Amino acid sequence: MLEISAEGKLDFVAVNSPTSSNFEIAIVIDGVERFRLTMAGLNTLGLTTPDNVPLWADTAGKNFRYHPNEGDDFATSFKILAKATVATPSVYWAVKYREAIPA
């Protein structure tokens, strides 16, 4: 879905599918998969309250948010992956990150 090759800090990820909550999300930082969760799994884990940090899912509204308190540092890259678990939903995303500026 998205890959950024740089050094910096990942602050926020939002993913929405207006057609289905049947998808999984993965975040990969510097080649290491930090997590991979289905929207249903987030619901089962009870991560459906907006003040849950750093993960939150609204399966009825088909929304996913990731907002680590201090941001996640990346030295080479980060990827955000989304994969349908049923059918083929449309997926929209927004990301906030800060790229390091060499001295």
pLDDT tens readout for residues 21-55: 778 889 999 999 998 888 777 777 777 766 666 88
pLDDT for res 52: 64
pLDDT for res 50: 67
pLDDT for res 9: 95
| Distance from C-alpha of 14 to C-alpha of 95, rounded to nearest angstrom | 6
**Tokens 């987030």 map to which residue?**
42
Instruction: Give 40-85 as a DSSP string.
Output: HHHHHTT--STT-SSEEEETTTTEEEE--SS-EEESSEEEEEEEES
What residue segments make up the domains of the chain, in order of their start? 2-98
Q: Pick one of 2.100.10.30, 2.40.50.100, 2.60.120.1390, 3.40.47.10 as the CATH number of 2-98.
A: 2.60.120.1390
Segment 46-81, tens digit of pLDDT = 777 666 668 887 777 788 888 888 899 999 999 999
**Which stretch, 17-21, 52-56, 81-85, 93-97, has highest mean pLDDT?**
93-97
| Distance from C-alpha of 35 to C-alpha of 61, rounded to nearest angstrom | 22
